[in-house]
Structure 1
Amino acid sequence: MSPWPTYPALQWLAVVEHELLLFAAIWFALFAIDEMAVDLAWLRLRLTGKLRTPRLSHPCNAELNGLAVVLVPAWLESRVIGPMVRHTLQSWPQRNFRLYVGCYRNDLATISVLVALAPDPRLRVIIHDRDGPTTKADCLNRIYRAICEDERRSAQRVRALILHDAEDMVHPAALTLMDRALDQADFVQLPVRPEPQRASPWIAGHYCDEFAEAHARDMVVRHHIGAALPSAGAGCAFSRRAIDRILIARSSTEPFAAECLTEDYECGLLVHQTGGRSAFLRVRDSSGALVATREFFPADLVASVRQKTRWVHGIAFQGWDRLGWKCAPGDIWMRLRDRRGPLVALVLAAAYLLIMLWPVVVLAKAAGLAVPVDDGPLLSGLLAFNLASLIWRLMMRALFTGREYGPAEAVRAVFRFPVGNIIAVLAARRAITAYVRVLAGGVLRWEHTVHHVHVSQAAKLDADPQQRPLPVAA
């Protein structure tokens, strides 16, 4: 005889729904406890006065304590690299500053834009001797080799290496603030501020919610508990001594791992792992605006899923393989949070499957075609706890979004919550597929995000929509 009970199909569906509900409820409760632990740590810091955000009383553009170089990798960035370079050179007038832009020999459009820029002795354009696209890390390594060559020629050693992307808009005070912070730290990260896009309030808007919470809560808590800080790849500065230690740890002449999809995240953790000190710098200028790197994030579903696929693959899978778990308890906690993306996506997928099964099971029970499965006190308690924690989570998300973007965006943040979940599920599925393909001997693929408009152009384009560029294929 079969060990399995014999149920009608609809009764089996009711049993499956119950088991999925229990599975999702347990994991959602664990995730909620984790998030609440971070919330409590943040609230404790807030109530004890340790989270006061300094405000600059005057412009902060003093000369630097040493030579600072900004590394900007660029592949198919002809639409944004010109405004980015012009704005950066204008915002940072310091003489002891150099802007290195790395592009590829087969990207003539980007090269043409850079050649047409007004000459500035602080700008260096580096042409990669390989066809693009390679990985971002590979392009950064080419820029780094050029920096080392310039150091040998000038006999002047670089003090700070700063990472930025071609779509970034820097804050005028950021360079001096990072330079001063490197007096006590080896790695400094400024907040990243995604800019709202009227044409994409849901897809682009969900980045506003996630970064507002991550860079006002998560990174602040990591900083105060002494855990390693990941680099966002934009608005972050490494001291030269930190880079030298990373080179030794890698037994390499190149600081960035060309085979890594999230080389910036990895380098941030390596600073701490090699004995350096990291700092998250949250400051507001005299007008109250956050000193942050501003940029437009993907505005359509396909581009957003591709970008987050790269993040999940690099942080969750490659991070596990490359960095492991040999670290302090606080770091283990934070690495668990960083790498839980695929598991969260699995639980979310189960939850959305439940949403589809629920009306079928309800109708089957109402028609007498299925017998209700008893929830029991454990499941009932978990459901009540998860409902309360969801309300709390939405309130916190709205709080952080509202502080940075205003009350209208705070309300939208509540309704954008499922949008982020759906993108996370789709990205995790693609990341798992890509990771398995690499394990089977496949080639690691870099999926580049094409940018169409720089933040500094936004006001002009809003005033004259005829000047808005047409989309190009990624």
Structure 2
Amino acid sequence: MIQRVAVELSLFAAAGFLLFALDDLLLDLIYIARRVWRALTIYRRFVPADAGMLRGTAEGWMVVFIPAWDEAAVIGDMLRATLERFDYPDYSLLVGHYRNDAATAAAIRQVTDPRVVAVDIGVDGPTTKADCLNRLYDALVRVETAEGRRAAAVILHDAEDLVHPQELKLFARLIGRAGVVQLPVVPLVDPASPWIGGHYCDEFAESHGKELVVREAVGAAIPLAGVGCAIGREALGRLASSEGGRPFAGGSMTEDYEMGLRLGALGERTMFVRLPVVHGQPAVVASRGHFPATLDTAVRQKARWLGGIAFSGWDRLGWGRGWGERWFRMRDRRGPLAAVLLLAGYVAALLWSQLWLAQWLGAPPPAPLSRGLDWLLRLTALLLTWRVLMRGMFTASAYGLGEGLMSVPRMVIGNVIAILAARRALMIHLRGGPRQWDKTAHIFPAETAR
């Protein structure tokens, strides 16, 4: 009986993993082909760009939206570090806080700089993050009217982000060519959480090093990460006009992800940019920050992402147009099925281990596997090996060999978090979606705090 269950679960999991692995392999091949083609054509005629090309770029008023609920512990340090780091002459930081969050409001007021604009959004919190952003948009319209000028772009950052000095110059250079520009997100290594916090380093190294590159290459819209991204003021105004003055999707747990796809559907160009700080070096112009360091907070965050993208995205966004768009929306929404396959695979592994242990203790050996299942498991194992190597290579490229080796066992941690997050996301979806901002506690990098 145990072997029969183990065989059925193995067949189910292996068949699903094979389909996902072939899907990932196609993405890898497109990425490799693109790298080779650019090396043989573009980079033979042009010098690869780096942040040095941004010298002297300073056009347009940039406005940064920073929504804040219960962020008294980090918002002051974040604002001071941002003011010190941004190498750009004309920008404003609009920081939205709630009227019942006196501690956060006080921390914002302690940063006495005219570029910091504290915005009491006029309601008790927490509402949703999208609601806070929509109220910041209303505040921007008021500021523009009062000052008699219009922003060139709106940049999104969170209260724990460590900004890059050159990002506003990069946005100023590109925002006229695209309605949306997204920079890579680079999680900071947390020595206190090498396993849970570290798995974010692995996932973002691969997704923002490869997947978004291919996504843009095949013509699919770039979803926003909610940080390190710029939205052209005209594009944001178009979206606001089509949505009754509220450009951010108030009923979504992933309003940032949706905004990129919705702007792409309006015909705006969406752009993902990996610009090296120095050509030939791994560091890029990016948004950095700490990610959740405990199992509970990681599950909560992943559940928000999974619920907003996979469960709600079907109804809210549809499938778009063009094979590239449909392909990547399918990839975005496979998380719940992946969680089921992972659970089946781990249960099957547990059952097989029990059978092998029983054999070691003297029980009869399990019956041989069928030829078809045996080959399916071998092929899946081969593709899994390729997947592990790709993950390790991208992590090592971004963080060094040590973190690259750590990424291998951390895949198991990520899988466990994915399974737990899928369950939580399903429960939230069945209850009707988010009712308020389900945020996690944040920390700001101590070495940059002032």
With the length of structure 2 as denominator, give the TM-score of the two structures: 0.94
Change (3 A) 1:217 1:63: closer
Provide the residue aligned with 1:204 in structure 2: 197
Q: Distance in 2 between matches of 1:390 and 1:67?
A: 48
Q: Using the TM superposition, give the Cα deviation of residue 323 of structure 1 relative to its aligned residue in structure 2, in angstroms.
A: 0.2
Provide the residue aligned with 1:423 in structure 2: 417
Q: Using the TM superposition, give the Cα deviation of residue 266 of structure 1 relative to its aligned residue in structure 2, in angstroms.
A: 0.1
Determine if the alignment matches structure 1 residue 194 to structure 2 residue 183: no
Provide the residue aligned with 1:20 in structure 2: 9
Among 440, 445, 450, the residue aligned to 1:449: 440
Provide the residue aligned with 2:210 in structure 1: 217
Partner secondary structure for residue 352 of structure 2? helix
Q: Deviations over 1:189-225 (max 9, x none)?
A: 0000000011111010000000000011000001111
Provide the residue aligned with 1:3 in structure 2: none
Q: Distance in 2 between matches of 1:56 and 1:363?
A: 57
Provide the residue aligned with 1:8 in structure 2: none
Determine if the alignment matches structure 1 residue 31 to structure 2 residue 20: yes
Cα RMSD of the aligned pairs, angstroms, is 2.1
Q: Distance in 1 between matches of 2:110 and 2:265?
A: 42
Provide the residue aligned with 2:132 in structure 1: 139
Q: Distance in 2 between matches of 1:263 and 1:425?
A: 23
Identity %: 44
Determine if the alignment matches structure 1 residue 162 to structure 2 residue 155: yes
Q: Deviations over 1:10-63 (max 9, x none)?
A: xx2221111111000100000100110110011001111269794536384645
Q: Using the TM superposition, give the Cα deviation of residue 86 of structure 1 relative to its aligned residue in structure 2, in angstroms.
A: 1.1
Provide the residue aligned with 2:64 in structure 1: 70
Q: Deviations over 1:81-122 (max 9, x none)?
A: 1121112122225332111000111111111111111x2222
Partner secondary structure for residue 429 of structure 2? helix
Provide the residue aligned with 1:172 in structure 2: 165
Determine if the alignment matches structure 1 residue 88 to structure 2 residue 82: yes
Q: Distance in 2 between matches of 1:249 and 1:369?
A: 69
Q: Distance in 1 between matches of 2:63 and 2:30?
A: 35
Letter aligned with residue 202 of structure 1: W
Provide the residue aligned with 2:276 in structure 1: 284
Letter aligned with residue 15 of structure 1: R
Q: Mean alpha-carbon deviation: is it higher for 388-397 or for 63-72?
A: 63-72
Q: Mean alpha-carbon deviation: is it higher for 88-97 or for 344-353?
A: 88-97
Count residues with an aligned counterpart. 443
Provide the residue aligned with 2:253 in structure 1: 261
Determine if the alignment matches structure 1 residue 271 to structure 2 residue 263: yes
Q: Deviations over 1:317-367 (max 9, x none)?
A: 111110011321111110111111110000001111112211333355678
Provide the residue aligned with 2:238 in structure 1: 245
Q: Distance in 2 between matches of 1:62 and 1:241?
A: 24
Among 383, 389, 396, the residue aligned to 1:402: 396
Provide the residue aligned with 1:123 in structure 2: 116
Change (3 A) 1:54 1:122: farther
Letter aligned with residue 370 of structure 2: G
Provide the residue aligned with 1:376 in structure 2: 370
Q: Is the 8 A contact 2:219 2:324 kept in 1?
A: yes
Q: Deviations over 1:423-467 (max 9, x none)?
A: 00000011111111217xxx6353111113x12x23679xxxxxx
Provide the residue aligned with 2:329 in structure 1: 335
Q: Using the TM superposition, give the Cα deviation of residue 133 of structure 1 relative to its aligned residue in structure 2, in angstroms.
A: 1.0
Q: Mean alpha-carbon deviation: is it higher for 256-265 or for 324-333?
A: 324-333
Change (3 A) 1:364 1:33: same
Change (3 A) 1:363 1:300: closer
Q: Mean alpha-carbon deviation: is it higher for 150-159 or for 286-295?
A: 286-295
Residue segments in structure 2 that go unaligned for 5+ positions in a row: none
Q: Distance in 2 between matches of 1:334 and 1:427?
A: 21
Among 84, 96, 99, the residue aligned to 1:102: 96
Q: Is the 8 A contact 2:87 2:166 kept in 1?
A: no
Partner secondary structure for residue 290 of structure 1? coil
Q: Distance in 2 between matches of 1:419 and 1:404?
A: 20
Q: Distance in 2 between matches of 1:64 and 1:20?
A: 59
Letter aligned with residue 209 of structure 1: D
Q: Is the 8 A contact 1:67 1:96 kept in 2?
A: yes
Provide the residue aligned with 1:152 in structure 2: 145
Change (3 A) 1:294 1:156: same
Residue segments in structure 1 that go unaligned for 5+ positions in a row: 1-11, 462-474
Q: Is the 8 A contact 1:62 1:94 kept in 2?
A: no
Partner secondary structure for residue 291 of structure 2? coil
Q: Distance in 2 between matches of 1:57 and 1:170?
A: 15
Among 17, 31, 35, the residue aligned to 1:42: 31
Change (3 A) 1:141 1:460: closer
Among 378, 386, 390, the residue aligned to 1:392: 386
Q: Deviations over 1:384-433 (max 9, x none)?
A: 11111111111111100011101111110111110100000000011111
Provide the residue aligned with 2:296 in structure 1: 302
Q: Distance in 2 between matches of 1:57 and 1:114?
A: 31
Q: Using the TM superposition, give the Cα deviation of residue 370 of structure 1 relative to its aligned residue in structure 2, in angstroms.
A: 7.6
Letter aligned with residue 117 of structure 2: R
Q: Distance in 1 between matches of 2:448 and 2:77?
A: 13
With the length of structure 1 as denominator, give the TM-score of the two structures: 0.89
Change (3 A) 1:140 1:408: same
Change (3 A) 1:370 1:324: farther
